[in-house]
Structure 1
C-alpha cells in the first residue's frame, strides 16, 4: 500500500508543479463606440470586452485601470510630484511645483463609470483613484471566457503627461490610456499599480474602435483604418459620411496589441511610405516650417526598421504610425506619440528610433515595465545607441556606441544617489535615479553581457530571446535562461550584482615587473562586482595582443569576441583581490597595456586601467 501512495503523491506533485510553472497569458477583445464632443473636450464611451482567462486560477474579481483620474489636484500623482519636489519628473512640475495642483476643475481628467455588467448582469465596483475593482457575478473559471459591457463618460484632461488637450505644439487631443482598461493577470497576480506617471502593463488584446467626431478632424492611431475613403486625410478624394450632427465615424481595428491610442487635430497631414519587408509607415502631423525635418527623416526610419529586423527580429504588425502629440515621446500599440518640432535631424530621428524601438522591447516583448523598467527602457536604449551609431556615425572614432552611457553611469555613481534597477518604476526617490537605473543600467546590462560572453553570443541571445518570447510577457528569468543556454555560462551572479544592487566594478593595474624576456603584471579588484577581465598589450610594432582572464563563476569561458582573438589564462577566483600573470614581452617591446581596450567594461575608475610604457 505504501508504494502506490508514494507514487500517487509524486505524480500529484509533478502535475501541480507543471501547472504552476506553465506559461499562460490572458486575452481581452474590445469593441468600442466613442462619441466625441470636441468643443468641450469630452466623450461618451461604450465598450464590450470578451475576456478569456487562460490561467489555472478561478477569478472572482477583475481590475481596470482608469488612468485619467490621476490628472487632478491632490491625486496620488500630484502628491508624489509635490513630495519629490525638484528631485521628481521635471515634466510634471514648474520650478519644483506640481503642475497638477493648478489644473482647473473643468480640465481635470475624469473617467466616470455609469455601469458595468457581466453577461448582462450588473456588477458592483469600487473606484480607488486610478484602479477600479469589480466584484464578479460569477467567477471566471480557468480556460473560459466572459463578456463585460460598460458605459462611461470622460473629460479629456489638461495635458500634463502624455494624454490630454491642447498640447504645447497645438494638438487638440492626445488620447492615450483613455479608456477603462482591464488590468493584466499573470503568475504574479493582478497588476494593479496606481498611475503615478511612468509605466504601464496590459494583456494582449484585439480592438475594434469606432470613433465619432466632428468631420473636420483627422485622426492618427495605432491600428488599421477600415474606412479611409469616408474620413478626412487618408484618401485624396474622400466621400465623408456625416451623421445629422455633422460628425464622421472612424473605424479602426488592431490585433494583439497592448493598447489602442489615438490623437485628433483639424490641421493634421497624413504622409505614408512603405518599407521593404517592413511595415507601412504613417506620419500624422502638422506640416509647417517647424516640422520640415519629418520629410528628411523618412530614409532614416526606413533604415531603422530594416536594422531592427536584422538585429532582433521582424516587426510583425502591418503598420506603424508616428503621431505628433503628447509630451516628449511615448510608445503605444503600433504607434508613437511624440513632439514634432525637431531642432535637428539627428534629434528628431533619435526620438523616433527610441520610441519605435519600444515596439520591439515593450510592445512585442511585453515586459511588465512597472516592475521591470530596466528591461523595457534599458534594452530599448541599447538598440537606440547601436542604431543611431550606424545612422549618424560620429565624426571622431569611438571605441563602441555605448561609451557615453558608460560615462553617464560612472559619473552618477559618484553622486551617491544611485538606486538599484530592481526597484519598481514609480518608487525611485528621484527622476535621475530612475533614469540611470532603468535606461542606463538596463542598457549596460546588455553591454556588460557582450563583454562577458562575447558579442556574437549576445547577438544570438537577443535573436533567440525575441524568437521565443515575442507577443508574450517575458521576465528577467526568461531572458537569463536564453542567455545561459546560448553561452553555456552561469550568469545569475552578474544579474544579481547589476540589477539588485548598486555595487560597482573597479579594477586596476596594481604592479608591473619587467624581466629580461617577460613582464609580470598584477591586477587588483578594488570594486565590489567581480568580472572576467580582458587585458591587452600594444607592442612597439603596433600589434595588439589580447588576453582573457575568466571569472570562475561563469564556469565556461568566452571563446571569441569581435574585438580580436585572445589567449585564455587561468581563471580569477571571485574571492581573490589580486591576480598576477606573465606575458612574453619585455619592456622595450611594449608601448602600452591595459584592461579592456574596447572600453565596454563599466569600470567606475578607468584611469588606473591603462599604462603607457616609456
Structure 2
C-alpha cells in the first residue's frame, strides 16, 4: 500500500513538528546495544544463519473460485472450494479462516475502532459476507460446525486433521455487496462510462498456521494488512457481457471473451516494447469492445504458487499492454485498464510503460517476476497491491503515477514473493519495498523523476518529534501520523544506511538478494532477516537492529575537539545520541587538499567519546563529519570543526 509523499496530511504533520527539530534526548551509554539478541538462536525450523531449518514446514491452500458480478445491485456472489494441506508436525482440531468483507459491517472491530472523525481506513458498514452450505470434508467425514468472530471463522473438523500431510476440502457459498469505500484497498468508482469495480478480500481464505504463533488470527482492523498461505488458484468470474474483466494470473479463455481484433492486438502487444491498445478510447461503450452483445461472459483465470488473487471489472475500461522482458529470455505482459478520465500522456496513457519498467528493474536486480501478467487498474483506491494486480488512483499523473505504480508493483517482491506477515510487521514489506523503489526510480528513464527526497537526512524532523514511535509498533496501534514512518520511511532509510554507509553496496546486495532467494514463497520472521543479513554480510549488526528497528533513539555524532598533538592532530568525536554509527570524517587542509577517515562502529563499545590520532605534517583547516550527508543526524551543529 502507498503513503503519498506529497499528501496534504503528511505536509501538515511535518509542519506541526518542525518546531521540535532541536529536541534532544538524554545522553545515554550505548554499550548495551552491542550485546547480541539473546533470543536469536536457531532451531530445527529456522536456523541461526537465517535460513529455513531442516524441519521447516509450511501449510498450503489451493483455491477454486467461482464468482458472479451483478452490476445492478453491486454484489458479488459465488462459491469457494479450498484444498488445505496440513504439513505441520501437529494435528489440527479446526481451521481458521479470514472473512475480511465482514470488516464492512456496523459492529465490526474495525468499524468500532475507527475514530469518529474518520481516517484513511473508513469503510462502508452495510456490507459483510452472507455464507451458506459451509462444509469441511476429510477422509473420515464431513463437518459443518463453525463459529464466526468478527473477521474470523473457526471451522471445526469431524476429527483432528493428521500432521505431516493431512488434507481437508472446505466449501461454502458467499455473497457480499461491493463497498464504495473499501478502506482504500478496494471498492467501486462511478465514472462517465460506468462503474469501476476493484475487488479484493473477496472470498473466505485460510489463515496462516506457522511455527511461531500457531494460528495467526489477528483481526482485520485497518492498518494491518495480510498474511497468507501459498497455493494454486483457479478462478472463474461471470459478468455482464459489456464488462471488461481482469484478474491476477493468466487468462485461460481469450478466444471466448475477447474479440478477434482484441486477440490480434494482444498477440501484437506480447511482442512489443511499446504500448499497444487492446481496447481503444474511442471503442469504450461500443459493441466492438466486447465479444458478445448481451447476456454474460465467464472469464477464466489461473495462477500458481500465489498467496492471493484480486480482480477488476468495468464497461468503462480502456485497455492497453506491452511486453515485459524477464531474465533467461522469458517474457510477460504489462497491462493497464483505466477510464477516459484518466487518459493522457502525462497520466494513465503511460501506466503500462511505468509498469513494464518497474517489473523489469526488480526482475533484473533482485528476483525474476514469477507471474505472466502485471496489471495496473485505475480506481478510487489510492494505491494497493495484490499478486500481479495493482489498484492505483485514477487521477494520478506524472511523477505521482510513477511513484504509486512502482511502489505497488514492488510489492510483488515484498510480500508476494517473500511472504512476510504484514499484519504484524508492515516494515518487512512496506519498508523493504520503499527501499527498492528508491533504486528503481533512480534507474527509470535516465532519472526522469528525482529521488533526492529519499535521503535519510529528510527524516530528521520526524526523528526529533517527541510523539514518534518505533518501527516495531503494531500497525493498528501506531498513530496514523506515525505509520508512514514506522512502516515505510524509517525502515527504508535503515536499509539505505546499511547499503550505502555501513556495509557498502556489494556486501549488502549479496546479503539482501540471498535473503529474497532463500525466503521466496516462505514465511520469514524479523529474526530470520536479521540473522540472514549478518551471516551473508559477515557482520554483527545487533547494535543497528536494536537501535534503529527496535528503539526510538536517534543518531547524534559530533566533533568536540581538534587539537595539535606532538606534530600531529587529535580529533575527538562524540556520540551524543542513542544509536552508534561508524564515523566518516573529511579533513580539509590549509592547502585545500583533503583526506578521508573511516572509523568503525566498535569505537563506541567502551563509551561515547573517542580520540583519533591524525598523522600529518599539514595544517588542518576544517574537519567535517559525514561529508556525504547520509546520516539522519538530529543535531548537525556539531558536525563541523573550523580552525579559528
**Shorter-chain TM-score: which interval?**
0.7 to 0.9
**CA positional deviation for 1:494:** 1.6
Q: Which residue of 1 aligns with 2:178?
A: 156
Give 3-state SS (helix, strand or coil) of 2:610's partner. strand
| Alpha-carbon contact 1:34-1:44 (below 8 Å) kept | yes
For 2:135, the equivalent position in structure 1 comes to 117
Q: Deviations over 1:341-366 (max 9, x none)?
A: 223x2211111111111111111111
Aligned to 1:559: none
Distance 1:265 1:135 in 2: 39
**Cα distance, 1:168–1:78 mapped onto 2, change above 3 Å:** farther
- Which of the numbers 161, 166, 185 marks the counterpart of 2:209? 185
Q: Within 5 A, what are the aligned runs for 1:373-452?
A: 373-391=426-444, 404-428=454-478, 430-450=479-499, 451-452=501-502
2:189 to 143, 166, 186: 166
CA contact (8 A) 1:419 1:433 kept: yes
Segment of structure 1 superposing worse, 195-204 or 406-415 = 406-415
**1:127 matched to which residue of 2?**
148
Match of 1:176 in 2: 200
TM-score, structure 1 as length reference: 0.85
1:235 and 2:288 aligned: no
Question: How far does residue 248 in structure 1 lie from its aligned partner after superposition?
Answer: 0.8
- Kept in 1: contact 2:562–2:641 (CA 8 A): no
For residue 275 of structure 1, the aligned residue among 311, 324, 332 is 324
Corresponding residue for 2:283? none
CA contact (8 A) 1:228 1:238 kept: no
2: CA distance, partners of 1:613 / 1:330:
53
Distance 2:69 2:325 in 1: 37
Q: Is the 8 A contact 1:217 1:232 kept in 2?
A: no
3-state SS of the aligned residue for 2:421? Answer: coil
Q: Equivalent residue for 2:610?
A: 579
How much does 1:74 deviate?
3.9
Match of residue 311 from structure 1: 365
Structure 2 residue 497 is matched with structure 1 residue 473: no
Q: Matched residues in 1 for 2:573 and 2:476: separation?
A: 40
**Quick check: 30-39 or 166-175, which moved more?**
166-175
Report the 3-state secondary structure (helix = DSSP H, G, I; strand = E; otherwise coil) of the residue aligned with 1:193. coil
Q: How far is 1:407 from its partner?
A: 3.6
Query: In structure 1, how many angstroms separate the alpha carbons of the residues matched to 2:608 and 2:45?
Result: 46
Shift of 1:289: 5.8
Verify the 8 A CA contact 1:268 1:286 in the aligned structure 2: yes
Is there any run of 5+ residues in structure 1 with no aligned partner, and where? 1-13, 93-98, 553-571
Alignment equivalent of 2:625, drawn from 581, 584, 595: 595
8 Å CA contact 1:37–1:213 kept in 2: the answer is yes
Partners of 1:441 and 1:348 lie apart in 2 by: 23
The residue number in structure 2 matching 1:219 is 245
Q: Structure 1 CA distance, aligned partners of 2:367 and 2:45? A: 35
SS at match of 2:429: helix
Give the equivalent residue in structure 1 for 2:276.
none
- In the alignment, is the contact (CA less than 8 A) between 2:337 and 2:378 conserved in 1? yes
Residues 346, 15 of structure 1: CA spacing in aligned structure 2 closer, same or farther, 3 A cutoff?
A: closer
Q: CA–CA distance in 2 between the matches of 1:410 and 1:444?
A: 11
| Deviates most, 158-167 or 222-231 | 158-167
CA distance 1:516–1:391, change in 2 (3 Å):
farther
CA deviation profile, 1:1-57 (whole Å, cap 9, x unmatched): xxxxxxxxxxxxx98999997322111111112122221011321111110111112
Q: Cα–Cα, structure 1 residues 115 and 240, in superposed 2: closer, same or farther, change >3 Å?
A: same
| C-alpha spacing 1:421/1:487, structure 2 compared with 1 (3 Å) | same
Q: Distance in 2 between matches of 1:606 and 1:152?
A: 58
Change (3 A) 1:603 1:16: closer
CA shift in 2, pair 1:436/1:206, >3 Å: same
Aligned length in residues? 559
Q: Report the 3-state secondary structure (helix = DSSP H, G, I; strand = E; otherwise coil) of the residue aligned with 2:113.
A: helix
Match of 1:78 in 2: 111
Listed one character per residue, the Cα deviations across residues 477-522 of structure 1 (whole Å, up to 9, x for unaligned) are 2222221122211112321221221011111111111358432210
> Structure 2: where are the runs of 5+ without partners?
1-42, 265-287
Cα distance in structure 1, aligned partners of 2:469 and 2:596 = 35
1:605 equivalenced with 2:635 (yes/no)? yes
Query: What residue number does 2:15 align with?
Result: none
Task: Tell me if the contact between 1:366 and 1:473 (Cα under 8 Å) persists in the aligned partners.
Answer: yes
Alpha-carbon deviations, 1:191-239, whole Å to 9, x = none?
1121111211110121111111111001122111111122257536898
1:511-530 paired onto structure 2 within 5 Å: 511-514=561-564, 517-530=567-580
CA distance in 2, matches of 1:402, 1:443: 14
SS at match of 2:624: strand
What's 1:202 paired with?
228
Q: Distance in 2 between matches of 1:419 and 1:326?
A: 30
Alignment correspondent of 2:396: 342
Query: In the TM superposition, what is the alpha-carbon distance from 1:457 to its structure 2 partner?
Result: 0.7
- Contact kept, 8 Å, 1:268 with 1:284, in 2: the verdict is yes
Indicate the structure whose relative CO is greater, using CA pairs within 8 Å and at least 6 residues apart: 2
Query: Matched residues in 1 for 2:587 and 2:474: separation?
Result: 43
- Alignment map for 1:484-503 (pairs within 5 Å): 484-503=534-553
Greater shift, 128-137 or 300-309, is seen at 300-309
Residue 66 (structure 1) aligns with: 99
Change (3 A) 1:122 1:58: closer
* Corresponding residue to 2:586 among 536, 540, 556: 536
Query: 1:45·1:153 contact (CA, 8 Å) conserved in 2?
Result: yes
Q: Is the 8 A contact 1:171 1:325 kept in 2?
A: no
Closer, same or farther: CA 65–405 of 1 in aligned 2, 3 Å: farther
CA contact (8 A) 2:543 2:580 kept: no
SS in 2 for 1:39: coil
Is the Cα–Cα contact under 8 Å of residues 328 and 339 in structure 1 kept in the other structure?
yes
Q: If the length of structure 2 is used for normalisation, what is the TM-score? A: 0.81
Change (3 A) 1:232 1:285: farther
More divergent stretch after superposition (172-181 vs 599-608): 599-608
- Deviation by residue 1:582-604 (Cα, 9 ceiling, x = unmatched): 213467454x4222223222322
The equivalences for 1:452-467 within 5 A come to 452-467=502-517
Q: 1:167: how far off?
A: 5.8
Q: Say if 1:328 and 1:453 are closer, same or farther in 2 by CA, change over 3 A.
A: same
Q: Do the aligned partners of 1:461 and 1:486 also contact (CA within 8 Å) in 2?
A: yes
Corresponding residue SS for 2:201: coil
Aligned pair 1:294/2:348, yes or no? yes
